[in-house]
Chains A and B, each alone.
Chain A
Amino acid sequence: DTGVSQDPRHKITKRGQNVTFRCDPISEHNRLYWYRQTLGQGPEFLTYFQNEAQLEKSRLLSDRFSAERPKGSFSTLEIQRTEQGDSAMYLCASNPGNTEAFFGQGTRLTVV
């Protein structure tokens, strides 16, 4: 257990539905990252927060994706109007600065 929690661990949803995932980083970590990993591939960067500010966002993140970190603590990632191509593992990571990253266990999304 790295101390980074993600909820839920698994989510099955029908195409077109909206889903929201939560990440609770280690409490003193001001940096939080979201990544997406499809089967057989390495993770891909989605977005980065420093405290509550979203400072980097990947071009992979379409308009259907939005992430927030309202109080600089937990973060949510919402996917609207899910598509089958959104099926993946969504990983959250945090760190207190320019150090190693601590990853959560991930949320596995299956869109049927």
Chain B
Amino acid sequence: KNEVEQSPQNLTAQEGEFITINCSYSVGISALHWLQQHPGGGIVSLFMLSSGKKKHGRLIATINIQEKHSSLHITASHPRDSAVYICAVKKGGSEKLVFGKGTKLTVNP
């Protein structure tokens, strides 16, 4: 079983819809990252969080340390949000990130 599981694997939405992507992990962590990857490979960091909630524009990330679960929300989705969203955790005592397989989001106009 992977240490980081994301759901759903694929998500198709209509422009304007509210989107939620979930991430569950099974190890002790010091931080959780949400990343965005566009076709061609480039990865952009969206959030790094260790507790609570962060907001940036239309993106909101939450984490529940006790339940080992995080969610990424996108409000008023737009076709330019189409990308793969990846959850990654930094395990306690290590510098490496352990990644989920990603959620491929397609937002149709």
- Candidates B44, B45, B97, B101; contact of A41 at CB < 8 Å: B101
* Contact flags A55-92 to B (C-beta < 8 A → 1, else 0): 11010000000000000000000000000000001010
B6 CB to nearest chain A CB (Å): 8
- Please state if B44 and A108 are interface contacts (CB–CB under 8 Å): no
The residue in chain B whose Cβ has the minimal distance to the Cβ of A106 is B41
B82 CB to nearest chain A CB (Å): 17
Contact of A22 with B by CB under 8 A? no
- Please state if B99 and A42 are interface contacts (CB–CB under 8 Å): yes
- Please state if B101 and A40 are interface contacts (CB–CB under 8 Å): yes
Question: Which residues of the partner chain B approach A100 to less than 8 Å between Cβ atoms?
Answer: 33, 45, 47-48
Question: Which residues of the partner chain B approach A91 to less than 8 Å between Cβ atoms?
Answer: 41, 43
The residue in chain A whose Cβ has the minimal distance to the Cβ of B40 is A105
CA distance A44 to B98 in the complex (A): 7
Question: Which residues of the partner chain B approach A2 to less than 8 Å between Cβ atoms?
Answer: 42, 44
Question: Which residues of the partner chain B approach A58 to less than 8 Å between Cβ atoms?
Answer: 96
Contact of B94 with A by CB under 8 A? yes
- Please state if B96 and A98 are interface contacts (CB–CB under 8 Å): no
Q: What is the number of residues of chain A that contact chain B, defined by CB distance less than 8 Å?
A: 29
Question: Which residues of the partner chain A approach B60 to less than 8 Å between Cβ atoms?
Answer: none
A-B contact list, 29 entries, CB within 8 Å: A2-B42, A31-B95, A33-B97, A35-B97, A35-B99, A37-B41, A41-B102, A42-B86, A42-B88, A42-B99, A42-B101, A42-B102, A43-B86, A45-B98, A50-B95, A56-B95, A93-B43, A98-B30, A99-B48, A100-B47, A100-B48, A101-B45, A102-B45, A103-B44, A105-B40, A105-B42, A106-B42, A106-B43, A108-B41
Q: Given A103-B44, A103-B45, list of 12 further CB < 8 A pairs? A: A33-B97, A35-B97, A35-B99, A42-B86, A43-B97, A44-B99, A48-B96, A93-B43, A101-B45, A103-B35, A103-B43, A105-B41
